[in-house]
């Protein structure tokens, strides 16, 4: 078609522009499991002004078994490479507590940052261990949605990290996609039963797919103990790695405290 008499040629206007030099205070790259329905929503609730979250998902089986969880590691690097190519990020994060525990922090970090070498990286397992240390938790009560074959290595890993596990409870689910259906009231009730008669100095609610944000403050007020959850801890750790201080009300003392260093 000839463009000489094309009406669009005369209609189209091309304008000059200038670049927007404003930058977010913090940019986090987040790799999630395809079956996680909770983490991204929790983080968008936690993110304040100036925090940008760029996320992607990796293929996975919904089966919560050690074999299936370790298999997620094969996809971390590829998924991380898809996050905001060409955009400068401050921190990379991988969102699965049990997979991170089974794979190891160094393995997860290397795969998260393969295309962005030198960038700080976190995961819920690493972040939770750091949170326990920061809060002075040595005797821990643990609540998970997992079955025994995942709970046992988690218990062993906590013991190896120097944490005394004084109580351990679980909902015994096999499928990751079932975990978000656990009502926060059920988490409250299970936590209360778990703490009955035990001498814990902190509670750990493990799993990024467990809906815990609404129960953190009531549990802390009801039992006068610090409560650490996977999503809360990883967000806190990402802030610290980027040199930012937490200041979040109503989601537990971990995000209210002023902290220094990674």
All structural domains of the chain, each given as residue ranges with its CATH number in brackets, are: 26-123+232-255 (3.40.50.12500), 127-229 (3.40.50.1860)
Query: What confidence tier does 2 reach under pLDDT thresholds 50, 70, 90?
Result: low
Q: Indicate the angle between helix axes 184-195 and 213-223, nearest 10 degrees.
A: 30
Beta bridge partners of 204: 142, 228
Q: Indicate the angle between helix axes 213-223 and 230-241, nearest 10 degrees.
A: 100
Query: What confidence tier does 258 reach under pLDDT thresholds 50, 70, 90?
Result: low
For residue 3, is pLDDT > 80?
no
Question: Per-residue pLDDT tens for 61-72?
Answer: 999 999 999 999
Mean pLDDT of 79-100: 96
SS (H, E, C) 53-99: EEEEEECCCCECCHHHHHHHHHHHHHHHHCCCCCCCCCEEEEECHHH
Report which of 83, 61, 87, 88 is spatially closest to residue 72, judged by C-alpha positions. Answer: 61
Q: Say what the pLDDT of residue 260 is.
A: 47
Q: What is the dihedral of CA 254, 257, 259, 262, to 10 degrees?
A: 10
Mean pLDDT of 224-249: 95
Question: Per-residue pLDDT tens for 142-182?
Answer: 999 999 999 999 999 999 999 999 999 999 999 999 999 99
For residue 4, is pLDDT > 80?
no
CA distances from 249 to 49, 69, 216, 243 (A): 14, 33, 11, 19
Structure tokens given for 231: 């999503």
Query: What confidence tier does 1 reach under pLDDT thresholds 50, 70, 90?
Result: low
């Amino acid at each position: 078609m000839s463009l000489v008499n094309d009406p669009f040629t005369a209609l189209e206007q091309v304008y000059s522009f200038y670049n927007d030099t404003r930058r977010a205070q913090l940019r986090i790259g987040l790799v999630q499991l395809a079956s996680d329905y909770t983490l991204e929503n929790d983080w968008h609730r936690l993110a304040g002004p100036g925090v940008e979250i760029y996320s992607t998902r990796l293929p996975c089986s919904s089966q919560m078994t050690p074999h299936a969880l370790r298999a997620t590691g094969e996809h971390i690097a590829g998924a991380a490479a898809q996050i905001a190519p060409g955009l400068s990020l401050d921190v990379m994060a991988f969102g699965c507590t049990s997979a991170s525990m089974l794979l190891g922090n160094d393995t997860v970090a290397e795969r998260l940052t393969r295309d962005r070498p030198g960038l700080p990286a976190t995961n819920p397992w690493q972040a939770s261990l750091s949170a326990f240390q920061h809060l002075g938790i040595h005797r821990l009560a643990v609540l998970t949605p997992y079955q025994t074959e995942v709970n046992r290595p988690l218990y062993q890993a906590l013991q190896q990290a120097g944490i005394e596990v004084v109580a351990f409870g679980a909902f015994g689910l096999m499928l990751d996609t079932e975990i978000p259906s656990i009502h926060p009231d059920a988490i409250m009730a299970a936590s209360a039963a778990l703490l009955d008669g035990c001498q814990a100095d902190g509670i750990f609610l493990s799993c990024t797919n467990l809906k815990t944000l609404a129960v953190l403050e009531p549990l802390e007020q009801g039992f006068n103990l610090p409560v650490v959850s996977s999503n809360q801890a990883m967000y806190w750790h990402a802030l610290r790695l980027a040199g930012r201080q937490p200041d979040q009300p109503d989601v537990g003392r971990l995000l209210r405290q002023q902290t220094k260093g990674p």
